[in-house]
Chains A and B, each alone.
Chain A
Amino acid sequence: GQQVMQIPQYQHVQEGEDFTTYCNSSTTLSNIQWYKQRPGGHPVFLIQLVKSGEVKKQKRLTFQFGEAKKNSSLHITATQTTDVGTYFCAGPSGNTGKLIFGQGTTLQVKP
């Protein structure tokens, strides 16, 4: 069945360093979504990418959607302690409205 894989599983960085998480789908996606879950919290939607090769920025966060619409990345420039949490990518499962989530990347930032 459809799978969404994410690496790395964990990343520890010093505050101010950059961070990147990568997401790969076993199938072509109509869109890719990114969510952030703070420790003890629930997933919160960050962004959706739809077009092949699309790049979107939110302040220090840069999101990319691959040309083949099967992979994506999230890059954080100059991490801050507020960036701590788990970042999930998710792709839709057909037209059902269901999402297939990646395993998530947990980011720890040392001050």
Chain B
Amino acid sequence: SAVISQKPSRDICQRGTSLTIQCQVDSQVTMMFWYRQQPGQSLTLIATANQGSEATYESGFVIDKFPISRPNLTFSTLTVSNMSPEDSSIYLCSVGLSSHNEQFFGPGTRLTVL
């Protein structure tokens, strides 16, 4: 298994600003993912954070809006840029220990944009 921490746990931001969310894992992992979860909804994958290369984004998500860094095998950041109220959501990072095994989730970052 893996233990994952996220910072901040929550934030309230003004529209037009940016917020960077950090995800730290207690062991080296190959696969890290970033999800968005609207209240009462399922998880939507934003991107796969690749170590040493650019993130791979899912349809509907772009690098300019959600830049991701993955400087090493234990850490990643997701930035939500030029925020609007529609970006209010819970952002979760997760890790996968292999391509066919379970994912472990961080506690999430609850973002409110005013």
Contact = CB atoms under 8 A, between A and B. Distances in A.
Main secondary structure of the interface of B (DSSP, over half): loop
B106 A42 contact: yes
Given A42-B108, A43-B105, A31 B100 contact: yes
Nearest to A99: B103
Nearest to B4: A42
B53 interface: no
Given A42-B92, A42-B106, A97 B42 contact: no
The size bracket of the interface on A is 20 to 34
Interface residues of B, number: 22
Contacts, number: 47
Contacts of B102: 33, 45, 48
Contacts of B45: 98-99
Contact of B48 (A31, A48, A98, A102): A98
B99 A92 contact: yes
B48 A104 contact: no
Interface of A: 30-31, 33, 41-45, 48, 88, 92, 95-99, 101-104, 106
Given A45-B104, A97-B96, A104-B42, 15 more contacts: A31-B100, A42-B108, A43-B92, A44-B105, A45-B103, A48-B101, A48-B102, A92-B100, A96-B48, A97-B30, A97-B31, A97-B33, A98-B48, A99-B45, A101-B43
